Structure 1
Amino acid sequence: MSIIKENDIAVGYKHSALGVIPEEWEVKKLRSVCLGKGEYGINAAAVEYSENLPAYIRITDIDDEGRFCLDKKTSVNNANADNFLLQINDVVFVRTGATVGKSYLYNENDGKLVFAGFLIRFRIDVSVVNEYFLWSYTKSKPYWDWVKTTSMRSGQPGINSLEYAALQIPYPKIQEQQAIANCLSEWDKTIEKLNSLITQKELRKKGLMQGLLSGKKRLKGFENKWNYKSLQKFLIYTPREVNKPIDLFLALGLRSHGKGIFHKPNFDPKAIAMDKLYMVKENDLVVNITFAWEQAIAIATKADEGGLVSHRFPTYTFSEEASPLYFKFFILGNRFKNMLDLISPGGAGRNRVMSKKDFLKLEVFIPEKKEQEAIANVLESIDKEIQLLKTKLDQMKLQKKGLMQVLLTGSKRLKY
């Protein structure tokens, strides 16, 4: 369609409370397209999930895509629970906390759901608005701009039912809403398939790690016996002490739960009192002795080369008997996490310091180097598959975000 601009507004468009929109579009408030008022959820404690009870949806049970998290379901056991059961065309909004603004459109495939007190339910009137179109708008940039402005008016992140009811939404004809909803729904189905495939691959990887790294599952061609050996057979303590830089430098940290090394670029040397730091190189095994019990351990990549750490992050190089790639996976296992826990005595948090002496004495059940390398190659292969899928997923999400921006503002029109 050819757009001729006049006074900075294209022909066929107009100014509105939501910015420039097509002339035939309206702007309506959420309350005008819903049945009744916004309702607050039940004030009840979660109990262990039971098939004999309805599942409980709380603010923590809605993921970043607006889906109900099925992996850690809980239930609610309350005499009034039936009054808070979600129905088809119900949408709930998070009303407080860091995730205020998140929404979930009820999906009957999620089963019976009772919504919690920090959620607000609106029942969409599908005779006047398409439920998927409305829900899709709650993932758009204009919506999140509104959330940011509205939620901080009181100084605390929160939006009440009256404020949500006053939310302004773009309102094309119902046929165009349906066309937009159908388009975005197809993208969501593709994204969901990718999410499902990634989950399947990650479960397969988990199963392979449990079997291959314990010796319970052997690769073809390997029959030699595994042995218990201390880590000092494979690791060499290798500190590379340097003077604290005068200028800004790359500092490194370690995430707990095996989440790897993170960067603190342009780190100000004045922020630390120590005069000596230690350099990390590619393929170093790095451990945070303060949080080793929480699996703060990783193997450095090329991107980490030259980064600096404190004395609380000892670095180790690998002997000729070890495959660094094998240990990349081995250190993420639950058994190794338990071993780190045992050599980190003390109370919680910073009082639990791993013994560097005991670390090298840890006994691990391990194959010869050739089998280590073969196992590592299998696991690395599936890791790369997962990473490719995640990259594709990120691209799909980014493209959908751009599509939402043009469809939900009317700057791009669909035939209907």
Structure 2
Amino acid sequence: MNKEKLNIKQPNSQAEPFKNIKTGSVKGQSNDLDKVQNSNLSCDREGIQTFDPQNSEGATTEASPKVGYKKTKLGWIPAEWEVKELKEIGNVISGLTYSPDDVRPNGVLVLRSSNIQDSKLSFHDNVYVDPKKLNFNSLKNNDILICVRNGSRSLIGKSTLIPNDLVGEAFGAFMTVFRSESNIYLNQLFNSDFFYREVHKNIGATINSINGGNLKKFKFPIPPPSEQKKIAAILTTWDSAIALQQDLITAKQKFKKALTQQLLTGKKRFPGFEGEWEEVKLNDLGTIYTGGTPSSSIKKYWNGEITWYTPSEIRKAGKYISVSERKITALGLRKSSAKLFPKHTIVVCTRATIGEVSISTIEASTNQGFKNICVNKDNNVEFVYYLLKTSKQEFLRKSSGSTFLELSTTDFRNMKFKVPTIYEQQKIATTLSAADQELTLLQNQLIQLQDQKRGLMQRLLTGEVRVKI
């Protein structure tokens, strides 16, 4: 049998974000950040081997037997594996039906869909009931809690493993528990594309749900218990690496938030900078541009060469933006209240998603849901960007309107800020930009880890990759 060692390179989850910023310099943020940054975890890939059955010894054509594998309705699987329905390896257990009158300030916790976030338990939205008045199926250690009914189809099938400290708690009627001796392994399977494909094949046509009867009939290739244990251990190690990366990102975000607040208010100053900051109106920091929308009924106003932003695009953009879904013509610009502004103008949503901010890297225009500022030469564009980005609550406080909230041009122009000299602005902007870049690096590494785990799951859960027992 031809076996080849699997070599998957894992990105180093212990990058050096914020390496130019001393973590202890921001009050209250150093301990959590250092704790995560000093953690050490590596993904153990020893004992994993790949085996391509099509290229194995003795395999000649698609119709011929593949050494060590067998043909099933689900495709080729290792000879030791079996295709099983879930009902053959565990039980489906229904949740508790309760009414608003049953809810109490405390009592037995009823886990619902909102308590599962990214395959983890979340306790930001809890419901409790009186256990003496209701009969329910209580949770056991290593139960798998599954969302089987929800207003959003995309949430059907999300699941999590129940830890020992939730034993005895309840779960709602829109949830189901799967209980099996194989749940450590099945927890990985239930978070795979294989499981979600089965879920979406079985969602009701009119109601977003899967019933217990259908769930029991889901079929999967199941390895022997010893191989289940090894596969689960390998994938759990990757889960730990991903969780560590997420914790590191969270710690860095908290640190950066505290640092931003201190730098932009002058509570923390860099060496060499002294003196009081000057209070100015936003209008003093640059030229204000408003937006507008050409008539949608006149075709020659549209599909031109001028980029035209809308609030929904700013929400998705991040710090910089250069692409819009729609563009207008020069005639459309002239025949509307939209204004063409220079590149590096800061676009600010002042209607709908008030306070969303981005820097346009190109010459562009916006609809009427914006007030935009082209920062003058006496100030730093990125400093003003950070100043406005942290002013969302002030934007909202000054907004008004009966149909929808909007910040007026006058109020926008007259907003007051304290600013330092351009040299100190540049120093602050450089520091915060570096923090942003390193957060982006961490987030990209997280995506890479998640993609690698997803690819490994694809191979381990089908038997394409075998593990040493």
Give the structure 1 partner of residue 81 of structure 2: 25
Q: Aligned equivalents of 1:139 and 1:115: distance in 2? A: 19
Give the structure 1 partner of residue 309 of structure 2: 252
Distance change (3 Å), C-alpha of 1:317 and 1:352: same
Give the structure 2 partner of residue 362 of structure 1: 415
Equivalent residues in 2 for 1:288-299, closer than 5 Å: 288-291=349-352, 294-295=354-355, 297-299=356-358
**Structure 1 SS opposite 2:120:** coil
**Structure 1 SS opposite 2:467:** coil
Contact 2:340–2:364 (8 Å) recurs in 1: yes
Quote how far apart the aligned CAs of 1:121 are. Answer: 1.1
- TM-score of the superposed pair, with normalisation by structure 2: 0.75
Q: Could you list the runs of 5+ residues in structure 2 that have no partner in the other structure?
A: 4-54, 295-299
**Structure 2 SS opposite 1:389:** helix
Q: Aligned equivalents of 1:193 and 1:75: distance in 2? A: 29
Given candidates 401, 421, 441, the residue that maps to 1:346 is 401
Equivalent residues in 2 for 1:9-408, closer than 5 Å: 10-34=66-90, 36-43=91-98, 55-64=109-118, 66-70=119-123, 72-79=124-131, 83-97=136-150, 98=152, 99-108=155-164, 114-124=170-180, 126=181, 129=182, 131-151=183-203, 153-238=204-289, 244-247=301-304, 251-255=308-312, 260=317, 267=326, 276=336, 277-279=338-340, 281-291=342-352, 294-295=354-355, 297-302=356-361, 305-333=362-390, 336-347=391-402, 351-408=404-461
Q: Aligned equivalents of 2:235 and 2:395: distance in 1? A: 47
Alignment size in residue pairs? 397
Q: Could you list the runs of 5+ residues in structure 1 that have no partner in the other structure?
A: none
Distance change (3 Å), C-alpha of 1:290 and 1:47: farther
Contact 1:49–1:73 (8 Å) recurs in 2: no
1:297-317 C-alpha deviation (Å, 9 max, x unpaired):
313243xx2454323334320
Q: CA RMSD in A?
A: 3.3
Contact 1:93–1:103 (8 Å) recurs in 2: yes
Q: Percent identity?
A: 24
Contact 2:291–2:369 (8 Å) recurs in 1: no
Letter in 2 for 1:388: L
1:129-168 C-alpha deviation (Å, 9 max, x unpaired):
2x222111112222211111111x4333211222222222
Contact 2:112–2:171 (8 Å) recurs in 1: yes
Q: Aligned equivalents of 2:308 and 2:71: distance in 1? A: 49
Contact 1:232–1:361 (8 Å) recurs in 2: yes
Distance change (3 Å), C-alpha of 1:234 and 1:56: farther
Distance change (3 Å), C-alpha of 1:298 and 1:177: same
Q: Aligned equivalents of 2:161 and 2:101: distance in 1? A: 21
Contact 1:250–1:308 (8 Å) recurs in 2: yes
Contact 2:350–2:395 (8 Å) recurs in 1: no
- TM-score of the superposed pair, with normalisation by structure 1: 0.84
Letter in 2 for 1:107: P
Q: Aligned equivalents of 1:86 and 1:145: distance in 2? A: 26
Contact 1:91–1:122 (8 Å) recurs in 2: yes
Distance change (3 Å), C-alpha of 1:61 and 1:24: same
Higher relative contact order (CA 8 A, sep 6+): 2
Q: Aligned equivalents of 1:112 and 1:235: distance in 2? A: 62
Contact 2:157–2:199 (8 Å) recurs in 1: yes
Q: Which moved more, 1:353-362 or 1:319-328?
A: 319-328
Give the structure 1 partner of residue 22 of structure 2: none
Distance change (3 Å), C-alpha of 1:42 and 1:373: farther
1:36-62 C-alpha deviation (Å, 9 max, x unpaired):
442124536699998x75555321221
Distance change (3 Å), C-alpha of 1:257 and 1:332: farther
Distance change (3 Å), C-alpha of 1:246 and 1:390: closer
Distance change (3 Å), C-alpha of 1:306 and 1:317: closer
